[in-house]
């Protein structure tokens, strides 16, 4: 009878061990399947910072695509691909588009991309003022 009790107890402990092994395998596989949220967040911050630099440095207000292109090439590391579009509006009873340009390369096929946009105000003189929208997309090469 004692031996039978010992066997039952051993059976229970083995069951617990099997359950622990199963749970460990489950969590390990779940962790591997989860997407990495750190890299896209870093790229989002990079995109926001790049647009802020272009706005506060006056490059976007200058409406010169080559200057914006050169600035982006200096700011972005080689391992990051980027694509940008900038649109300018003026106000004539409503916001009317006056200029737009696109820079960088296409990002089709990239697994993880980060996108940021920024509105900005460009003051030329007391009669010429523009309202702009810049969109930037980043991806890891």
Partner 1 sequence: MMGRTLKIWAGGARRQGFLSVAAYALALALLFLLSSMSNYSISLSETGAALSRLEVTGAGFDAASFGMAQILRRETVSPAYSGFNLSLFLRLPFTANYTQDVGRWQAFAQAYGAPASVSINTSEAARPVLYVRPQNITIEYQAGRVLITPQNATFSQGQVLGYDDLMRISQPVGRLNWTQKSNVSPADPSALYFHIAVQGTNGTVSDTQYLNRSALSEVRLLDALDRSVMTVQVNPEAALRVYYDTSIGGNLTTVLGLNSSSTLELGTNVINAAYEARKAGPVKIAG
Please report whether residue 121 would count as binding partner 1 according to CB under 8 A. Answer: yes
**133 touches partner 1 by CB under 8 A:** yes
- Considering the complex, what minimum distance in angstroms separates the CB of residue 29 from partner 1? 13
Q: Judge contact between 120 and 135, C-beta under 8 A.
A: no
* In contact, 86 and 133? CB cutoff 8 Å: yes
**Exactly one of 1, 33, 78, 92 binds partner 1 (CB under 8 A); which one?**
1
Q: Does 63 bind partner 1 (CB under 8 A)?
A: no
Among 5, 69, 75, 140, which residue sits at the site for partner 1 (rule: CB under 8 A)? Answer: 5
Nearest to partner 1 of 64, 117 (CB atom): 117
- Separation between Cα atoms, residue 64 and residue 117, nearest integer Å: 18
Q: Distance between CA 41 and CA 5 in Å, rounded?
A: 57
Residue 140 pairs with which residues in a beta bridge? 80
Interface with partner 1, residue 85, by CB under 8 A: yes
Sole residue written with tokens 């870093």: 42
Cα 87 off chain centre by:
21
Question: Cβ neighbours of residue 90 under 8 Å, at least 6 residues apart?
Answer: 96, 98, 128, 129, 130, 131
Residues that bind partner 1 (CB under 8 A): 1-3, 5-6, 8-9, 12-13, 15-16, 19-20, 23, 27, 30, 34, 37-38, 40-41, 44-45, 48, 51-52, 55-56, 83-85, 89, 91, 95, 102, 104, 106-107, 113, 115-121, 123, 126, 129, 131, 133, 135, 137
């Amino acid at each position: 009878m004692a031996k039978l009790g010992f066997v039952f107890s051993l059976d229970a402990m083995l069951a617990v061990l099997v359950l622990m092994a199963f749970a460990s395998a489950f969590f390990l596989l779940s962790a591997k399947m989860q997407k990495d949220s750190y890299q896209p967040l870093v790229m989002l911050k990079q995109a926001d910072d790049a647009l802020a630099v272009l706005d506060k440095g006056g490059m976007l207000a200058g409406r010169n695509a080559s200057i914006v292109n050169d600035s982006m090439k200096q700011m972005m590391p080689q391992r990051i691909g980027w694509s940008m579009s900038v649109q300018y509006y003026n106000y004539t009873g409503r916001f009317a588009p006056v200029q737009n340009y696109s820079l960088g390369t296409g990002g089709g096929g990239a697994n993880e991309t980060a996108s940021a946009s920024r509105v900005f105000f460009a003051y030329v003189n007391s009669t010429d003022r523009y309202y702009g929208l810049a969109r930037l997309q980043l991806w890891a090469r």
